[in-house]
Amino acid sequence: MTKDSLSISVVIVTLDRAESVRDVLDCLVRQTRQPDEVIVVDNGSKDNTKEVVSSFDGRLNIKYVYEEARGIPFARNAGVRNATGDIIAFIDDDCIADENWLKYIEIPFIRDPNVGVVGGDLSYLEKGESILEKFHKRYMR
C-alpha cells in the first residue's frame, strides 16, 4: 500500500561543530518540503552545540539527543531510536542541503513501497579554495 504522504525525520550526528550545525539547521528551515522532525545527536561536544540546537526551537520540531558512546554508528543508531518518522534521512554536520532535498528524497518512497533506501547526490561547497579543497572537489564526492 502506498501512502500519499510520509513523515520525515532528519538525523544529524555531530561532534564539536556548533557553527556548522547552525548552517545545516538553517538549510533545513529553508526546505520547500519541511522535515516533520529534526534530531541532532551530539556525540560528545565540548562546545555550544546544545545552545545552537535550542535556538532553533519554534522554527523546527527539533530534538537534542546526547550519545555518550563515541563513534558514528553509535550516534546514528541513537538518531534512529529517537526518530518517529516513516522516513529517516541522514545529513552530516558539515553539509548543506539544496532547498528541495527532502522534496526529492520523499518521492521514490511514496511511489514504490519496496524502495527501502534513497540516496542523493553529493558535491562540494564552492567556497573551497585551498589546494586540498580543490583536490577533494575533483576526486571525491
Residues that bind another protein (CB under 8 A): 8, 20, 69, 71-74, 76-77, 80-81, 83, 85-92, 94-98, 100-102, 104-105, 107-109, 112, 114-128, 130-136, 138-141
Rounded to a whole number of angstroms, the minimum distance from the CB of residue 66 to another protein is 17
Query: First-to-last CA distance in the chain?
Result: 35
Q: Please say which residue, 54 or 108, places its beta carbon nearer to another protein.
A: 108
Q: Please say which residue, 30 or 54, places its beta carbon nearer to another protein.
A: 30
Distance set, CA 31 to CA 36, 51, 108, 133, 141 (Å): 11, 22, 18, 27, 22
Q: How many CA atoms lie within 13 A of 96 on its CB side?
A: 13
Q: Please say which residue, 4 or 58, places its beta carbon nearer to another protein.
A: 4
Q: How many CA atoms lie within 13 A of 116 on its CB side?
A: 0
What is the rounded CA–CA span in Å between residue 71 and residue 79? Answer: 13
Q: Please say which residue, 46 or 127, places its beta carbon nearer to another protein.
A: 127
Rounded to a whole number of angstroms, the minimum distance from the CB of residue 63 to another protein is 16
